[in-house]
Amino acid sequence: MQNLVRSYAANAPLIEKFILTSLGRVSLKTFNVQLAERLFKTFPSLELLYKCDEGFVQNSPNIYSDHEEGHHAGVDRSYLVDEVAIQKGYHVSEPYISTTTGHLCITVVYAQSDGYLFLDFRIRKLLERFDLIEKNDVFKRLNRSSYAIIGGGLLFFGVFVVLYGFYTFGGYLFGVEALNIDAVFKPIIALTLGLAVYDLGKTIFEQEVLPKTQHVSETFNAKTLLNFSVSIIIALLIEALLVVFKISIHNYKDLPYASTLIAALSFLLLVFAIFIYLVRKSEKEPRDIRADD
């Protein structure tokens, strides 16, 4: 969504000029069904329109391309208008998320003799009309479906691994299998890995599948990678501890292999610590700049 806002901000003069020039070619003196039909035909990006009186109180229904909604009449729309800017006969609002349609849009307020005409334009369609963003609806649906399958699979296997951990521990607990040191460590490893996989699947669903109703930062989101890495490292450390215990009980000659695993994990922790330091440093830099300003 921030992509749309930035693209619109960079091309706002061009888009506003196009809208106002096109409106100037349509007779806006009389607000009626014929006017609405001409406007929807002229502007494919037009979502809805309505009329307000001189006090910016809506006195008409919301008119869509295929239906009307009358329960909005009487609503004060002055929050959409800059009363200083409207003196020149029109005003274009800043981008906002419409509570009616849920889309990112702008409202063009056009002065008439007996009030004001409000027109809501969907920003995505405006940008697509000028080829400022690519229109790939089929690809987007395919991409979202693929992410849904992958994310759903990760969620399923995450839950499956967790249940397997409990099942394994239950087998040791109720004497189905012999009780040994694996009875403690293997279920813990399964639960840790299951949590990591489930968290990854949940993040994929939230960011790529579910509709985005909020502004989402496009900067790299390290939280997902941090959570996943922490879970994996913990599981590996537990496995290394289990290997050390097994070797100490059965055969000391294999202890160098366990030491190599622990050394590799120590190096991984060092790299992970450096990564966390760099992420936190990058998060603090913008704040410091704003403080200096």
pLDDT in tens, 239-266: 777 777 777 777 777 777 778 888 888 8
Question: Is residue 192 a contact partner of residue 235, using CB atoms and an 8 Å limit?
Answer: yes
What is the average pLDDT across 269-276? 86
Question: Is residue 147 a contact partner of residue 204, using CB atoms and an 8 Å limit?
Answer: yes
- Strand ranges for the chain from DSSP E: 46-52, 62-63, 68-69, 90-92, 96-97, 104-112, 115-122
Long-range contacts of the stretch 265-272 (C-beta < 8 A, 24+): 265/233, 265/236, 265/237, 265/240, 268/233, 268/236, 269/233, 272/229, 272/233
SS3 95: coil
Q: Estimate the share of the chain in helix, then strand, then coil, as percent rounded to the nearest 5.
A: 65, 10, 25
**Which CATH number among 3.40.50.300, 3.40.50.720, 3.30.450.20, 3.40.50.970 corresponds to the domain 2-129?**
3.30.450.20
Question: Is residue 58 a contact partner of residue 51, using CB atoms and an 8 Å limit?
Answer: yes
User: Burial level of 202, CB count in 10 A (0-12/13-18/19+)?
Assistant: middle
In angstroms, the CA 271 to CA 79 distance is: 51
Reply yes or no on whether the pLDDT at 189 is more than 90.
no
pTM for this model (two decimals): 0.52
* 262-266-271 Cα angle (round to 5): 145
What is the average pLDDT across 69-89? 87
For tokens 């995505």, the residue is 124
- pLDDT for the residue 1: 66
Residue 254's contacts (CB-CB under 8 Å, 6 or more residues apart) are: 247
Reply yes or no on whether the pLDDT at 222 is more than 70.
no
- pLDDT for the residue 62: 92
Question: Is residue 4 a contact partner of residue 104, using CB atoms and an 8 Å limit?
Answer: yes
For tokens 């940008």, the residue is 127
- pLDDT for the residue 214: 40
